[in-house]
Structure 1
Amino acid sequence: MRRIPLSLLIAAACTAHAGQQSGGSDSGLLGGGWYIAPVGEVTYTGNAPGHLDYAGGFGLGIGKMLGDFNIEARPLWVHYSGNAATHGPRVDLSSDLWGGVVDAQYVFSRGAWQPYAVIAAGGATWGTAGVRSTRFLGEAGAGIQYAVTDTFLARADLRYRANLNTDGTGPGDQNGVVANLGIVLPID
């Protein structure tokens, strides 16, 4: 059931890219402009094995290239897996994070290889169906984009995510390292 949204995301990205190709874009991504950036992510929290130690998810960034900066809003969904076996039966700790961040990416060069530094901030709701908590998300990291064509970039980055509990309910802070892999496609 969770594959349907990801399939729709991929189909939307490919449709936008195909439409841009047939429309005869004048500048593409290397000339700046609006873009979408579907991304998959893997998170490692460093917690004890089985205690929400890893997660996987996806997001869809919508951004604008402004000189040396990319400003991007990225709604995201992340599924944390885990079971706890402390004193008694196993307890399912699987949790879903729904939220979003706004990225500020500083791109060091706009050639074929585009290294960048990123900071981001946002919020989310996180937990199981019975217990949800409000979260602050803060991220900092670095990555690289590669211009496969002037209308198609491949992107990868590594970030540290602070996932902080702001309302005192649900699991405590779940900070960790996030690896993102995605593409960037023009929409204007």
Structure 2
Amino acid sequence: MPKQNLFAIALLAGMSMQPLVQADDHYRSDRWDDHYQDDRWYIAPFASYVDTGGDRNASNGWGGGMGFGKIIDEHFNVELKGFYEGFNGTNGAWSLTGGTADLQYYFFRDKFSPYTVVGVGGMNSCVSGNCGAGIIGEAGVGFSYELHDNLLVRSDVRYRYNNNLNAHVQPGTDEFHDMTVNVGFVIPFGDKPKTLAQRADTRVEPVAITDCATLDSDGDGVNDCLDQCPDTIKGGVVDAKGCLIRLVLKGVGFKFDSEELTPTAQGILDGVAQNLIAHPQSNDIEVQGHASSEGSHDYNMALSQRRSASVVDYLKRKGVANKLIAKGYGETQPIADNATEAGRSENRRVELIWVEE
């Protein structure tokens, strides 16, 4: 691959890091990054295809390696990675052995999760018995796809800069520009954390006991003698104690192409705020914004984030004491058919999710 093409790949990878700064500025006030539940360690075996870029006077080759990393929060992973690569050249067979410390930035976490990555490290290069150690820097883009809670497929493409620090492994230059395509798996250790809503997304059936067994004053499916959260908001999903874990705010609408709440929506949120204040729960609450499939993915993600942040701001102004976390999901979690207007209307919604303590 010509050097100018490799430099173009590096430039694109660097430009893709710009949303990191923008996202940090946009979401810092809501602090929902700090509440991301998954912080597991993992291993990541992978195979590599190497495009040597022309500097080494060599053919393309293959390799592989292993990463060991940790999920930090909603956006970041850190990972230590070791690798070996080999290929043939005009001066003989090449072997590259090295490792990097990587920082991965995920734009969002879902079944399909795109990310950018930068890494720095060292590499020992050998050709025809002539070896030398040098430094490397990598930048690229990739994605992971979740097959199971403990198994993800991952792939990325990276530009690599290598300087052998006057080792003269190959006459004429100590600087090399390669591209690698990596494909492998991510295997997290332990169970994936779940929210309360994921643990119990259906209404609890009443428990048959004596006396107040037939009484359910707030209609939440839990008998009054077991209900520790009376006067639950209608339509909410509760746990065995009658306390809310999920609430879809029906009728909470916004002005067209805006995060500004309609007067009707404000009235509904006034009632929600009064209930949360009158019957407090200590859990943090994730305020989720959802959209229909109209518009692009990026547009819907940004709009749903702004709208969830608008609901958070309104509830805080009304005196809700819970820590409220704004999160936009765009069109990624539909509950109805986007092929009909009725279904799209259902998908344009706001949900409150009580986060497990």
- Pair in the same fold by TM > 0.5: yes
Residue type of the alignment partner of 1:177: M
Distance 2:106 2:48 in 1: 21
Q: How does 1:7-86 map to 2 (within 5 A)?
A: 31-47=38-54, 51-67=57-73, 68-82=75-89, 84=90
CA drift of 1:163 comes to: 1.6
CA drift of 1:128 comes to: 3.1
Aligned structure 1 segments of 4 or more residues deviating by more than 6 angstroms: none
Post-superposition Cα deviations, 1:43-75, rounded to whole Å, max 9, x if no partner, equal 112218x92231211110000000011100001
Report what 1:173 is aligned to. 175
Report what 1:101 is aligned to. 100
Q: Secondary structure at the match of 1:138?
A: strand
Distance 1:54 1:162 in 2: 16
Contact kept? 2:81, 2:102, Cα under 8 Å: yes
In the alignment, is residue 131 of structure 1 matched against residue 130 of structure 2? yes
Q: Secondary structure at the match of 1:51?
A: coil
Report what 1:185 is aligned to. 187
Distance 1:156 1:64 in 2: 17
Q: Which has the higher helix share?
A: 2
Distance 2:136 2:187 in 1: 25
Of all paired residues, the percent bearing the same amino acid is: 33
CA drift of 1:130 comes to: 2.3
CA drift of 1:167 comes to: 3.3
Q: Secondary structure at the match of 1:163?
A: strand
CA drift of 1:38 comes to: 0.3
Distance 1:74 1:149 in 2: 23
Post-superposition Cα deviations, 1:11-31, rounded to whole Å, max 9, x if no partner, equal xxxxxxxxxxxxxxxxxxx82
Contact kept? 2:118, 2:138, Cα under 8 Å: yes
Distance 2:162 2:108 in 1: 30
* Closer/same/farther in 2, CA of residues 69 and 31 from structure 1, 3 Å limit: same
Q: How many residues align?
A: 150
Instruction: Give structure 1 stretches of 5+ with no counterpart.
Output: 1-29, 85-90
Q: Secondary structure at the match of 1:169?
A: coil
CA drift of 1:100 comes to: 0.3
CA drift of 1:150 comes to: 1.2
Q: Secondary structure at the match of 2:160?
A: strand
Post-superposition Cα deviations, 1:84-106, rounded to whole Å, max 9, x if no partner, equal 2xxxxxx5x21111110111000
Residue type of the alignment partner of 2:157: L
Residue type of the alignment partner of 1:60: M
Distance 1:80 1:121 in 2: 22
CA drift of 1:182 comes to: 0.6
Q: Secondary structure at the match of 1:181?
A: strand
Distance 1:33 1:129 in 2: 42
Contact kept? 2:136, 2:163, Cα under 8 Å: yes
Contact kept? 2:150, 2:189, Cα under 8 Å: no
Superposed CA RMSD in Å reads 1.8
Distance 1:187 1:81 in 2: 38
Residue type of the alignment partner of 2:180: V
CA drift of 1:173 comes to: 2.2
Distance 1:180 1:113 in 2: 17
Instruction: Give structure 2 stretches of 5+ with no counterpart.
Output: 1-36, 191-357
Distance 1:129 1:43 in 2: 19
Residue type of the alignment partner of 1:63: G
Distance 1:142 1:61 in 2: 16
Report what 1:143 is aligned to. 142
